Homo-oligomer: A and B are copies of this chain.
Amino acid sequence: MVMQLDNFFMPSSVAVIGASRNSAKIGHVILKNIIDGGFRGRVFPINPEANEILGYRCYKSVNAVNEEVTLAVIAVPAEFVLRVVDECAKKKIKDVIIVTAGFGEVGNIKLENQLRDKLDKYGIRCVGTNCLGVFDAYHKFDTLFLPRYRLTRPKPGGISFVCQSGAIGSAILDIAAYSGYSFSKFISYGNATQLDESDLIEYLREDPNTKVICLYVEGIKNGEKFFNVLKEVTKHKPVVVLKGGLTDAGIKATVSHTGSLAGNKDVFYGVLNQTGAIRADSLEEMFHIAALFEKKVSFASNRIQIITNGGGYGIITTDAISLSKHLKMADLSSITISELRKNTPAHMNIGNPLDLLGDATTERYRMTLNSVLADKNVDGVLLIVLYQTPLITTEIVEVITEAHHNSKKPIIVVSTGGEFTELLSKSLMERGIPVFNFPTETISALDKVVAYELRHKGVKFVSQKDEKVNEKLVVKKKRVSKTKKNKK
């Protein structure tokens, strides 16, 4: 049965246990961010030594609060956590986020086991320990104890990120928000003392705002559970997984980080492959894959047409597609070719890549983009737009947006440049179009996205590489039969 964890993200009331008047303390920043974030429920700071914090009445313990408290965020030192959980149980609080560190990750396994037993005994559900807690962009609930001028909070959108490492989570959230990506939920779960990665992923399957689930994980708590959850969830939503601790030295480092036993790399990769989860090989790749799913690119098959105003960019992208595992260069139909020939300058070469040349205009983009999208031989367009040349007017944003609305086929834009480029790229992203900086990283992410799409749609396809292998086999067969003949 899937656990209903909504209360962690949209509680009707929250107690901050360990709230502090000292603005340098975590207990202060958590309270401040919950208030400043725009949370609409009731907030109760708990601190035996204060009467008021940030204008809110402060209570000596949760049991001094007369109203119902549905969630507690616990930020007291490790040695007080057990006692605080007792108090929460007495208050009938069912859910707690424990940000406190100092458990298994520093060798204090006994205390962590005592805590888990206590939580289980009371039937209290817990995110943490040793974590940042949660951020919900839709419900404006934010327990992250990092200041807003240092960590940009993202706008509401389709990415949810389950992250064992708080630092990775917050850094990615920050750069992603700054780059224009948008999120549903972020959960930093640290030591996974009780609720683990599987519980969280399973819950996100039901979150209507989550289009793609990202997971950074160091150690899996329960391998069988993880396998079953991934297998089920990937049928509904893509799950992109980055594993920390792949090598001996990396695995050694995970122990003192989240107390995880990282386990064997190949077994882990095997699980991802069997369950249909997507393996990311770096933070930057996880981020690119998620961005594509967030924009809901949907491929009927794997034939990609490149349109570009930079010849070299077209060549590099062609190389990347040809070297990819699952993508294929589209072959334009003869109807499209003659249409394009009629409407483009004579010195333009019609093919794939389709190089619109240095004197490309916005109008030339409009015409070719629409023509190519209508071609039955094309499943998606990799649209390279280099805004350095002055004949590309800013109206191109409208041209691409319109094509995006009128066609079911995905358009993925690659634009490299400075301030002017960034401005137009962000504008396109706000209109639902995925935009990237460089061709190679884009194709690398797209390769994994298309593989997932086709696997889950049950579409069979051949890649450029498969075709090469087939060609070679044919050549080999021919040679073999020749040799046989010669022998005769």
Contacts and interface: CB of A to CB of B under 8 A. Distances in A.
Interface string A281-317: 1111000000000000000000000001111111110
Which of A171, A175, A218, A323 is most buried by chain B, counting CB atoms within 10 A of its CB?
A: A171
A29 interface: yes
Given A150-B390, A167-B311, A283 B438 contact: yes
Given A151-B388, A171-B386, A258-B311, A253 B353 contact: yes
A164 B315 CA distance: 12
Interface string A152-190: 100000000001111110111011011000000000000
A238 interface: no
A256 B178 contact: no
A358 interface: yes
Contacts of A245: 315, 319
Contacts of A416: 171-172, 174-175, 283
Given A418-B152, A421-B174, A438-B284, A218 B312 contact: yes
Interface in A346-388: 347, 349, 351-353, 355, 358, 386-388
Which of A152, A178, A315 is most buried by chain B, counting CB atoms within 10 A of its CB?
A: A315
A146 interface: yes
A27 interface: no
Interface string A383-420: 00011111100000000000000000000000011111
Nearest to A250: B319
Interface residues of A, number: 86
Nearest to A322: B247
A323 B248 CA distance: 10
Nearest to A172: B416
Contacts of A246: 319, 322-323
A257 B311 contact: yes
A101 interface: yes
A256 B147 contact: no
Nearest to A147: B390
Nearest to A243: B319
Contacts of A422: 178
Contact of A284 (B171, B244, B441): B441
Nearest to A23: B390
A417 B106 CA distance: 28
Contact of A257 (B29, B319, B347, B355): B355
23 contacts: A24-B391, A151-B418, A165-B310, A167-B310, A174-B416, A174-B421, A175-B416, A216-B312, A218-B315, A246-B319, A246-B322, A247-B322, A249-B318, A250-B322, A252-B351, A254-B315, A256-B349, A282-B316, A282-B440, A283-B438, A283-B439, A283-B440, A284-B441
